[in-house]
């Protein structure tokens, strides 16, 4: 979350741009990133999770955590090179 996966430069604050070639977040000099992209609020939430640990969060997650779901879905689908059908079924049964 702090350094570019391509060149190692410090990443500025704000949203993060993921690049599949670099297998991580990249700085503005190493763009264009392939995506997915992580909003600044989700980045702040992740920093807090790493600082405190996931077991310290109780109740429902804050709204800033919501983009992480689609971010991870996108990474998994890209890795598998196909969409996740089981994920659609799970979401349909939760509604």
User: pTM of the prediction?
Assistant: 0.74
pLDDT, one tens digit per residue, over 15-64 is 999 998 898 999 989 988 888 889 999 999 989 888 987 788 888 888 99
pLDDT-derived band at 90, boundaries 50, 70, 90 = low
Structure tokens at 22: 């670099």
Say if residues 63 and 55 touch (Cβ distance below 8 Å). no
Give the pLDDT score at 93: 67
Q: Alpha-carbon distance 79 to 16, whole Å?
A: 19
Q: Are 74 and 87 in contact (CB under 8 A)?
A: no
Cα gap 13→59, rounded to integer Å: 28
Handedness of CA 46, 6, 35, 79 (dihedral sign): negative
């Amino acid at each position: 979350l702090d350094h570019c996966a391509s060149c190692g430069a410090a990443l500025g604050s704000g949203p993060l741009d993921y690049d599949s070639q670099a297998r991580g977040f990249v700085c503005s000099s190493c763009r264009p990133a392939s995506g997915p992209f992580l909003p600044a609020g989700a980045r702040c939430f992740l920093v807090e999770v790493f600082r405190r640990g996931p077991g310290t969060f109780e109740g429902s997650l804050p709204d800033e955590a919501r983009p992480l779901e689609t971010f991870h879905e996108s990474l998994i689908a890209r890795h598998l090179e196909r969409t996740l059908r089981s994920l659609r079924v799970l979401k349909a049964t939760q509604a």
